[in-house]
Amino acid sequence: MNRRTEQEITQNWKGDSVKPVVSVCCTTYNHEPYIAKAIDGFLMQETNFPFEILIRDDCSTDKTAEILKQYAGKYPQIIRPVFEKENTFSKGVKPMPQLYKIAQGKYIAICEGDDYWTDSLKLQMQVDFLEENDEYVVTYASVEAFDENGIIKGYVGGVIRDLESVELQKASPINTLTACFRNVVKELPSEFQCTKFGDLFLWSLLGQYGKGKYLSDIKPSKYRITSTGTFSGQTKQRRKEMSLFTNSALYSYYYRIGNKELAYHFQERSLRAAISAFGLYSFIKMVLKKFLQPVLKKDNFLCRLLIEKK
């Protein structure tokens, strides 16, 4: 457990110490071996502003909740835990947006319970930049991926450069566990529920408010790759399907609000994702079955070959 006391953490906070400047949002489920490392990464932050730590445990079946209660007891002014009485992810509830709803900060920083930060000045550098540069909406940094065998060399993850607003809107990937952004998205559109990569959808929404800044001076955060991770634990095929769902959701959103340029962009990406997920031949079969089957003649051998199951 972090050795600094709550008083030592808050002693340099300026202004109204009641209202946080940053809300650190962390979701966790069965992260007993990892959650302490994540929380320590939050508590090590050296800032001249107040921050809160929101941690949502989705009814873990291990000792994750017990560890969280111990930390919350030691840091009651900083840590605001949320304990679900039943697992909601299995019922289709996306965990991170549940914390966005209660976040009080001007800015939001996110990190899941099996990852962790390594730089004690991370939040200070990100807030300082956003305070001085109104045209930017989100800041992010590099990560170092690792698994049970150690560091995974050559892993990059998200982009390691600045992004224009339109690039964010086109859902350019950034390293999620490093992101700190303005708390400007007050309500997520209905299409968000259909996405499988909620972070990409969020970056696209944030792009409506400004640009993205890559901060190279921040030490890389640690991205843990496990067999149970929401992304790293998925098969290659499942990731392709998740990409299809996400691009289709973004297409539906931008089509609904009348942004033809972005709707067309995600329509193209959805098409490519569908072909990648199912293969060109299977994709053509699905299209024919959906749209052309009613008009096909039963004695047309070629058409039957395309639309019938193997």
Contact 95, 56 (CB under 8 A): yes
Bigger pLDDT: 277 or 258?
258
Output b/e per residue, 95-114; b: 16+ Cβ within 10 A: bbbbbbeebbbbbbbbbbbb
The predicted structure's pLDDT at residue 310: 42
The predicted structure's pLDDT at residue 29: 96
| CATH 3.90.550.10-classified regions of the chain | 6-232
Q: Is the pLDDT of residue 106 over 90?
A: yes
The predicted structure's pLDDT at residue 290: 57
Q: Please name which of 270, 254, 100, 255 lies closest in space to residue 166, comparing C-alpha atoms.
A: 254
Q: Is the pLDDT of residue 305 over 60?
A: no
Bigger pLDDT: 245 or 64?
64
Q: Is the pLDDT of residue 297 over 80?
A: no
Q: Is the pLDDT of residue 199 over 50?
A: yes
Sign of CA dihedral 164, 165, 169, 174: positive
Distance CA 25, CA 94 (A): 13
Instruction: State the pTM of this model.
Output: 0.87
Query: Domain 6-232: which topology?
Result: Spore Coat Polysaccharide Biosynthesis Protein SpsA; Chain A (3.90.550)
Contact 56, 27 (CB under 8 A): yes
Q: Please name which of 110, 114, 124 lies closest in space to residue 45, comparing C-alpha atoms.
A: 124
Distances (CA, A) of 12 to 9, 45, 52, 179: 7, 11, 15, 23
Q: Is the pLDDT of residue 238 over 90?
A: no
pLDDT digits (tens, 9 = 90+) for 16-53: 557 899 999 999 999 999 999 999 999 999 999 999 99
DSSP the chain: ---S-HHHHHTT--S-SSS-SEEEEEEESS-TTTHHHHHHHHHT---SS-EEEEEEE---SSSHHHHHHHHHHH-TTTEEEEE-SS--GGGT--HHHHHHTT--SSEEEE--TT-B---TTHHHHHHHHHHH-TTEEEEE--EEEEETTEE-TT---S--S-B-HHHHHTT----GGG-EEES---S--GGGGG-S-HHHHHHHHHTTT-EEEE-TTSPPEEEE--TT-TTTTS-HHHHHHHHHHHHHHHHHHHHHHT-HHHHHHHHHHHHHHHHHHH-HHHHHHHHIIIIIGGGS-TT-HHHHHHHS--
Q: Is the pLDDT of residue 284 over 70?
A: no
Q: Is the pLDDT of residue 97 over 70?
A: yes
